[in-house]
């Protein structure tokens, strides 16, 4: 539900850029709309009634706690969102942002286990994938491997990829991509795909 | 399951083709959701929606967000939202899946009526992959609402994966037993035994089915068949105690009292915490007494009195042990990590005095939900503490990093005006060209603990220098002053000597502190009128962006005193130079105005960020306190549940103890021939 105190907090930030204020306004309108629709729904939808004849008395205490924890979780989500926004705003200049994503084509016979990225001769990031992450990637999930900044100009990106094939064989690949960063954020996608007929693993780096 | 929602609606989407970035951001939500990191998934989706970067139709995006919130435990919000959203044009499969998930969540939380309402909202075809689960959930709900006949009907046409087939038959059998249709119940339960499977889960299900079959046959007075099924239960199974007890009673009922001693004696040597064992402690001497073996009967009754008294004492100790935070937390955490079935709960019960009595409570839905809630709260508390650290780091970062290090769009424009349209790209610097920053999951501090590893997640902590190297004196804090005949320092700052000839090539110029903090009060670069002509300033750029290349000497001359100014002898050339100069001055003023306009809000922005961080910090602190309070409430509630269970058991044992004492006295009387 919309929290008036939060709205007040946000409304105080009049010094923010107009785009941010516009976003706040949009969010406030969206929340208001949600709030109104939620109220309408609440009038129609019966209240969550925990008490039923067959439930023991012990459940009543649980229902009270359940309501408490839901309120806390809601506030927790709001704070997490606000903190994420703030971090994003504070840490990365939008014009110089560099985002690196890793994707695996559905039903790909390859699973990455380790990715290392070197940019302009310097280590940018390396990541060791857990079983859960590999499963998520194979089910269409996209991993945001890196968020940072990159200066305008020419850059050389080297990607080292190791992993396993479905048959259990290990594979190791290295690819280089040169790109020129212009104005605006730069997106890099490391796409691990199907088995190509000649090279084995199809692994591409797209920069835009 | 979430994958289907993420991808399926795209086909009938009425929005344009999503960009690759939008698809990647949608996939990112999925990446977290598949790992059950719902907090990160929700936050990513929320941010993508707010930035207009979602690749789905608004309704699909709303439903996905609601479902993620449901998975996160916000079932009340999700319930209201789904009632609002699903009346709209959501695809049938998405709608029915969402209703099913809501019903399941509400059922587990104990909101039976609301769960039934959610299930009733399902219209049309249920998606194939959840059809079996849906029928099982429906039957569970009906049974919980004492509508056992309806439950049996629902399961009669059950269709689903083989792995769930045993559960469907078993539940139907139980529902039929409850409505006293024993033959149908027996048929259904027998189906469970015919299923293949050697895993502990399927063996435990067969043990349970055999136990239920035995009871069903007992109720239909078929003692032989009942005994045959009790015998099939594995001796190490948690259900074997009840089977042994029942086998003894069958033998006794059949007039084979001596035969009853075998299972009951076996049972009486087992752990006394089980009520079946306690009952056997009284049953064994009862048979001995019936066999007129008064000595043995009295001895067993005495043993029972001693054992039951000790058991009451142990139960007292167990109740007291629950006052220790460690014991209770161990129970809660163990349960939240273990499986949900009674077998796993019993098998994984931790080694605390209370745990041996709490097997059934640990396996109960209410305790499972309580321990999950407790676990969620602990996790929230940890995350909030981590969030506080992040906030502090960010605040330090804001304070430590001067505002001009942040990018200004106006400065960017400023720089672009002077850059060569097709000039060569700047050579990457050895260091600082690629700014190091926090690892990817910095956006969500719930996931930070594993990825950040406590490092300062600020790329701003590392000074981001402009691509054009600045001379050291540019970084000084001292405000630039106009000194004598020379130009004010501020006029030339930003363009080192070398830059007079070569323009800065970057579109983005990061200005040093001295260039934005100490700006002239007027906001415009203007010399005293009287000195205007005497102090010409050659800007590094002309209006059209091309570089002026005045000879060094002439610049030096212009910088001289009035006496050194060129005379009329210089004629037209000087006039032209001054004209250019005036023009360039005006242009320079415009440019500096842009900087000032850009920098003004930036200064405020630094303070504003600090304020926002402070507000957020306060919110986190308040929430942390509330979470700590509710953690205590959860622990108190779990303790109450456990103590109630122990006291219930204690009262049961006390009843047996009283009975054992009475029977002992009766045995003495009988032995004495009274």
* Minimum-distance CB partner of A142 among B24, B427, B619: B24
* CB < 8 Å from A in window 279-298 of B: none
Return the minimum-mean-pLDDT range out of A179-183, B378-382, B589-593: B589-593
Estimate to the nearest angstrom the gap between the alpha carbon of B29 and the chain centroid.
13
B31 closest CB neighbour out of A90, A127, A141: A141
- For the domain A94-207, what is the CATH code? 2.60.40
Note whether A92 contacts B397, CB cutoff 8 Å. no
Asked if residues B631 and A72 have their Cβ atoms less than 8 Å apart, the reply is no
Contact status of B1 with chain A (Cβ, < 8 Å): no
Residues of A in contact with B406 (CB under 8 A): 93
Q: Which domain holds residue B48?
A: 1-126
Question: Is B7 within 8 Å of chain A by CB?
Answer: yes
Indicate if the pLDDT at residue A88 is higher than 60: yes
| B210 vs B542: CA distance, rounded Å | 96
Smallest CA–CA distance, residue A166 to chain B, in Å, is: 20
Note whether residue B519 is domain-resident.
no
> Which residue in A69, A139, A145 is closest to B376 by CB distance?
A69
**CATH 2.60.40 residue window(s) in chain A:** 94-207
Using the structure block, give the residue that is written with the tokens 């067969």.
B206
pLDDT at site B90? 73
CB contact under 8 Å between B443 and A87, yes or no, is yes
Q: pLDDT for A26-47, tens place per residue?
A: 555 555 454 444 444 444 455 5
Share of chain A above pLDDT 70, in %: 68
Q: Is B394 on the interface with A (CB under 8 A)?
A: yes
Q: What is the spatial distance between Cα A48 and Cα B106, in angstroms, rounded to a whole number? A: 9
Q: Residue B37 domain-assigned?
A: yes
Chain B hits for A146, Cβ within 8 Å: 437, 439-440
CA–CA distances in Å: residue B32 to residues A136, B432, B440: 8, 32, 13
Q: Flag whether pLDDT at A166 surpasses 60.
A: yes
Query: CATH no. for residue B39?
Result: 1.25.40.10
The number of folded domains in chain B is: 1
Phi, psi (degrees; rounded to nearest 5) at B269: -90, 0
Residue A52: its chain B contacts at CB < 8 A?
112-113, 145
Which residues of chain A are within 8 Å of residue B384 when distances are taken between CB atoms? 76, 79
Residue B80 Cα, gap to closest chain A Cα (Å): 6
As a whole number of angstroms, the distance between CA B232 and CA B213 comes to: 11
Please check whether residue B8 is in contact with residue B94, taking contact to mean a CB–CB distance below 8 angstroms: yes
- B chain contacts of residue A125, beta-carbon cutoff 8 Å: 439-440
ipTM of model: 0.76
Domain assignment of residue B343, yes or no: no
Gap from B581 CA to chain A (nearest CA, Å): 32
- Cα separation, B596 vs A104, in Å, equals 48
**B405 part of a folded domain:** no
Given a cut of 80, whether residue B281 has pLDDT beyond it is yes
Burial class of B326 by CB neighbour count within 10 A (0 to 12, 13 to 18, 19+): exposed
Encode pLDDT of B87-133 as tens digits: 656 778 888 888 899 999 999 888 898 899 999 988 888 888 899 99
In sequence order, which ranges of B220-293 are alpha helices (DSSP H)?
223-231, 240-253, 257-268, 275-290
B235 or B553, greater pLDDT: B235
Q: Of B352-361, B488-497, B539-548, which has the strongest mean pLDDT?
A: B352-361
Name the closest residue on chain B to residue A93, using Cα atoms.
B407
Structure tokens at A172: 């190791």
A91 vs A201, residue with greater confidence: A91
Separation between Cα atoms, residue B665 and residue B567, nearest integer Å? 137
Question: Does some domain include residue B60?
Answer: yes
pLDDT value at B460 more than 60? no
Q: Is B553 in contact with B431 (CB distance < 8 Å)?
A: no
Which among B72, B145, B615 has CB closest to A9? B615
- Chain-chain contact of B74 with A74 (C-beta, under 8 angstroms): yes
Percent of chain B with pLDDT over 70: 62
What pLDDT, in 10s, does the model give residues B530-561? Answer: 333 333 333 333 344 443 344 344 333 334 33
B495 domain residue, yes or no: no
* pLDDT in the model for residue B629: 92
Decide which of B265 and B603 is more confident: B265
């Amino acid at each position: 539900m919309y929290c008036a105190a939060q709205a007040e907090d946000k409304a105080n930030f009049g010094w923010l850029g107009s785009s941010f204020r516009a976003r706040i306004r949009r969010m406030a309108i969206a929340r208001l709309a949600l709030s109104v629709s939620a109220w309408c729904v609440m009038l129609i939808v019966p209240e969550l009634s925990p008490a039923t004849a067959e439930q023991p008395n012990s459940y009543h205490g649980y229902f009270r706690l359940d309501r408490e924890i839901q309120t806390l979780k809601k506030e927790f989500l709001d704070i997490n969102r606000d903190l994420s926004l703030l971090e994003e705003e504070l840490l990365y200049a939008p014009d110089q942002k560099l985002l690196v994503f890793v994707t695996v084509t559905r039903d790909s016979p390859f699973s990455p286990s380790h990715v290392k990225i070197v940019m302009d001769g310097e280590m940018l990031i390396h990541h060791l994938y857990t079983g859960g992450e590999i499963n998520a990637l194979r089910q269409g999930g996209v991993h945001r491997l890196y968020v940072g900044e990159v200066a305008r100009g020419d850059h050389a990106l080297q990607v080292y990829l190791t992993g396993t094939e479905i048959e259990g064989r290990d594979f190791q690949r290295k690819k280089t991509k040169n790109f020129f960063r212009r104005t605006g954020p730069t997106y890099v996608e490391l796409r691990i795909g199907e088995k190509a007929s000649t090279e084995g693993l199809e692994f591409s780096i797209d920069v835009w | 399951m979430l994958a289907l929602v993420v991808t399926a609606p795209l086909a009938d989407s009425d929005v344009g083709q999503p960009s690759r970035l939008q698809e990647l951001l949608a996939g990112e939500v999925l990446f977290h959701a598949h790992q059950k990191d719902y907090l990160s998934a929700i936050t990513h989706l929320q941010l993508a929606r707010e930035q207009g970067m979602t690749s789905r139709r608004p309704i699909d995006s709303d439903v996905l967000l609601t479902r993620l919130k449901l998975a996160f435990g916000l079932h009340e919000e999700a319930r209201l939202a789904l009632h609002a959203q699903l009346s709209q044009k959501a695809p049938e499969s998405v709608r029915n899946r969402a209703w099913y998930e809501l019903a399941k969540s509400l059922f587990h939380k104990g909101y039976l009526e609301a769960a039934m309402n959610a299930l009733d909202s399902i219209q049309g075809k249920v998606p194939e992959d959840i059809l079996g689960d849906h029928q099982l959930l429906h039957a569970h709900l009906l049974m919980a609402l004492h509508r056992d006949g309806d439950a049996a009907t629902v399961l009669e046409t059950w269709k689903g994966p083989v792995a769930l087939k045993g559960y469907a038959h078993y539940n139907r059998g139980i529902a039929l037993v409850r409505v006293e249709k024993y033959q149908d119940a027996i048929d259904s339960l027998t189906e469970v035994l015919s299923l293949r499977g050697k895993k502990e889960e399927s063996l435990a299900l067969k043990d349970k089915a055999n136990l239920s079959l035995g009871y069903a046959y007992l109720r239909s007075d078929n003692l032989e068949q009942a005994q045959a099924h009790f015998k099939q239960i594995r001796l190490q199974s948690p259900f074997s105690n009840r089977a042994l007890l029942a086998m003894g009673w069958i033998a006794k009922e059949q007039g084979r009292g001596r035969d009853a001693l075998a299972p009951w004696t076996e049972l009486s040597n087992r752990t006394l915490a089980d009520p079946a064992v306690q009952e056997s402690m009284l049953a064994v001497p009862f048979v001995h007494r019936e066999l007129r073996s008064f000595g043995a009967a009295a001895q067993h009754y005495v043993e029972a009195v001693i054992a039951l008294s000790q058991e009451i004492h142990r139960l007292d100790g167990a109740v007291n042990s629950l006052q220790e935070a460690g014991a209770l937390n161990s129970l809660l955490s163990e349960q939240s990590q273990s499986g949900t079935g009674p077998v796993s709960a019993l098998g994984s019960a931790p080694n605390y005095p209370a745990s041996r009595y709490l097997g059934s409570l640990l396996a109960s839905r209410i305790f499972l939900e309580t321990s999950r809630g407790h676990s969620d709260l602990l996790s929230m508390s940890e995350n909030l503490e981590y969030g506080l650290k992040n906030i502090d780091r960010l605040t330090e970062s804001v304070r430590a990093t001067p505002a001009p290090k942040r990018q200004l769009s106006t400065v960017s424009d400023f720089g672009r005006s002077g850059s060569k349209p097709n000039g060569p790209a700047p050579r990457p610097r050895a260091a600082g060209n690629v700014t190091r920053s926090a690892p990817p999951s910095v956006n969500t501090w719930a996931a930070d603990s594993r990825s950040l590893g406590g490092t300062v997640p600020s790329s701003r902590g590392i000074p981001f220098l402009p691509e054009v190297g600045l001379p050291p004196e540019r970084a000084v804090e001292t405000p630039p002053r106009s000194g004598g005949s020379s130009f004010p320092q501020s006029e030339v700052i930003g363009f080192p000597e070398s830059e007079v000839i070569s323009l800065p090539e970057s579109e983005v110029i990061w200005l040093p502190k001295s260039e934005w903090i100490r700006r002239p009060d007027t906001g415009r670069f203007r010399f005293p009128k009287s000195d205007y002509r005497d102090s010409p300033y050659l800007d590094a750029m002309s209006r059209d962006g091309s570089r002026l290349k005045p000879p060094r000497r002439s610049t030096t001359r212009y910088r001289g005193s009035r006496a050194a100014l060129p005379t009329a002898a210089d004629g037209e050339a000087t006039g032209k130079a001054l004209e250019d100069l005036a023009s360039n001055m005006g242009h320079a003023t415009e440019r500096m105005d842009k900087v000032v306009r850009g920098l003004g809000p930036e200064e405020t922005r630094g303070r504003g960020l600090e304020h926002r961080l402070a507000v957020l910090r306060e919110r986190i602190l308040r929430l942390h306190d509330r979470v700590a309070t509710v953690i205590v409430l959860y622990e108190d509630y779990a303790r109450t549940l456990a103590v109630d269970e122990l006291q219930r058991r204690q009262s049961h044992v006390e009843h047996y103890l009283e009975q054992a004492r009475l029977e002992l006295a009766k045995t003495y009387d009988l032995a004495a021939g009274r």
